[in-house]
Amino acid sequence: MPDAIHYQAKLTTVSPLHIGSGKTLLNEYDFVACKGYTWRINDDALLDAQQVEDPRVMQKLMNCPPGDLLAEADFEIGSPYFRYVIKGMPRSGQAGAELREQIKNSYDQPFIPGSTLKGALRTAIAWKIARAEQLDPTRAELNRRREWAAQSIERQLLAPSAPRGKEPNHDLLRALQIGDSQPADPACLTLINVTVLNRGGKPGAPVELEAIKSDASFTLPIKIDAALFSDWARRQGLKLPHTELLTNLPALLNERAKIQLARELKWYQGITAAGRLVDFYQQLLRAQLPENQCLMQIGWGAGWHSKTLDDVLTSRVNWMESVIREYRMSIKPRREGDPFPKSRRVAILVQRQADGRLLVTPARPLGWVLVELEKAA
């Protein structure tokens, strides 16, 4: 086996994907909604166009948001007053209404961080090992801090032979390196309205997001450092577990995806208004993929199941109930045996009816992508 195995991973979005920058944009201050589009304001260009030497103009600049400086004639594609323009508008037109920003580079070009893909792979690999070894999570010592609760389980699965304090050096995922994707044109962005959908089918309060639209493609470099699980590495005391999983990622990911897809389909089949979502999951379950392709769910809104050991945990019903209570994972009171989680985040279709009322239809889940692995020269 060579010291390193290189892949090119082509990632294509199957449903809208939001990976947040951590910044919340404000209506009239960071963006303006007009003519069916959301226009990201270029503050520098807009201020440069003002006659700041005029005291009246200066006073106006101090007392109004940047959006108030724009005239209707300014809303043209290619205008220097806007950094980029994306299709769709937030539901709220109030000044200060919030929009969650998609991660981009310094040129406003969206990309897929390698850390996002690696984090999803880490979870999937840990899940596969936990099932193969019939992990009993009830015997694990959970950290009292919620964000580190499963640290001992993760160490047991991915770095079982590591001396205390040396886990990163002996972690299986040390051998997996994933770079950021190439940037894409902002034209691949769209604005989506997202809501929390409960079992009754009633949508909650909307959240507005910039997101990468479906059918957008990105390429990420992947390197497997095979030298770390060679005979030489073992002689140095490095014993990475389950290294065979790193060279068979599509099969592992599809095994996990089929379980996720079937569960989500069953969940949405119980909701009258979720016909579009039922069709979506039925279509993915019928897909016959080549051996080098796989489905996975990543990013914001992908849900608890996609970011945890999933059925390895939920199959221990009594233990899971105690964990939910201990870490306050349920906002509302629940009865023992209630499904967890009780809701899903979904993109919605908003249509204005003839009488002026808004019709809200659950349309798509978030974060499903198709990944195709090709060995690089």
If asked whether residues 151 and 40 sit together in one domain, one would say no
Sheet holding 368-375, edge to edge: 176-178, 217-224, 5-13, 368-375, 293-297
Query: Which stretch of 28-32, 35-39, 303-307, 328-332 has the lowest confidence by average pLDDT?
Result: 328-332
Nearest in space to 376 (alpha carbons), one of 198, 224, 274:
224
Q: Sorting pLDDT into bands at 50, 70 and 90, what band is 1?
A: low
Check residue 91 and give its pLDDT: 84
Question: What is the number of other CB atoms lying within 10 angstroms of the CB of residue 22?
Answer: 7
Share of the chain above pLDDT 70, in %: 98
If asked whether residues 35 and 154 sit together in one domain, one would say no
Phi, psi of 110 (to 5 degrees): -70, 150
pLDDT in tens, 258-297: 999 999 999 999 898 899 999 999 999 999 999 999 999 9
If asked whether residues 60 and 176 sit together in one domain, one would say no
The whole-number average pLDDT for the span 357-373 is 93
| Mean pLDDT, rounded, of the chain | 91
Nearest in space to 230 (alpha carbons), one of 217, 243, 216, 220:
243
If asked whether residues 344 and 366 sit together in one domain, one would say yes
Residues 369/16, Cβ–Cβ less than 8 Å: no
Q: What are the DSSP E strand ranges found in the chain?
A: 5-13, 20-26, 31-34, 37-41, 82-87, 98-102, 176-178, 189-198, 207-212, 217-224, 293-297, 343-352, 358-365, 368-375
Check residue 216 and give its pLDDT: 98
Residues 59/69, Cβ–Cβ less than 8 Å: no
The whole-number average pLDDT for the span 113-140 is 93
If asked whether residues 224 and 280 sit together in one domain, one would say yes
If asked whether residues 286 and 194 sit together in one domain, one would say yes
- Among 37, 68, 97, the domain boundary falls at 97
* Structural domain range at position 50: 28-97
Check residue 366 and give its pLDDT: 98
Check residue 165 and give its pLDDT: 77
- Among 76, 97, 118, the domain boundary falls at 97
Secondary structure letter of residue 262 according to DSSP: H
Check residue 338 and give its pLDDT: 80
The widest CA-to-CA distance across the chain, in whole angstroms, is: 77
Q: Number of structural domains, the chain?
A: 2
The whole-number average pLDDT for the span 306-329 is 90
If asked whether residues 72 and 165 sit together in one domain, one would say no
Check residue 211 and give its pLDDT: 98
What is the pairing mode between strands 176-178 and 217-224? antiparallel
Query: At residue 80, does pLDDT exceed 70?
Result: yes
If asked whether residues 251 and 109 sit together in one domain, one would say yes
Check residue 140 and give its pLDDT: 76
Q: Which residue has the tokens 């979904």?
A: 346
Secondary structure letter of residue 135 according to DSSP: -
If asked whether residues 254 and 357 sit together in one domain, one would say yes
The whole-number average pLDDT for the span 345-360 is 85
Q: From the centroid of its chain, how far is CA 297?
A: 7
d(CA 224, CA 247): 8
Burial of 329 (0-12, 13-18, 19+ CB in 10 A): middle
If asked whether residues 142 and 9 sit together in one domain, one would say yes
If asked whether residues 323 and 309 sit together in one domain, one would say yes
- Among 49, 80, 97, the domain boundary falls at 97
Q: How far is CA 249 from CA 35, 64, 184, 230, 306, in A?
A: 45, 53, 26, 19, 16
pLDDT in tens, 83-108: 999 999 998 888 889 999 999 999 99
Secondary structure letter of residue 110 according to DSSP: B
Check residue 365 and give its pLDDT: 98
Who wins on pLDDT, 52 or 211?
Answer: 211
| Contact partners, residue 108, CB within 8 Å, separation at least 6 | 40, 83, 84, 186
Stated as kind and residue range, the H or E segment containing 170 is helix 167-170
Amino acid at 339: P
If asked whether residues 107 and 126 sit together in one domain, one would say yes
Q: Tokens in use for 101? A: 């920003």
Residues 111/180, Cβ–Cβ less than 8 Å: yes
Q: From the centroid of its chain, how far is CA 231?
A: 37
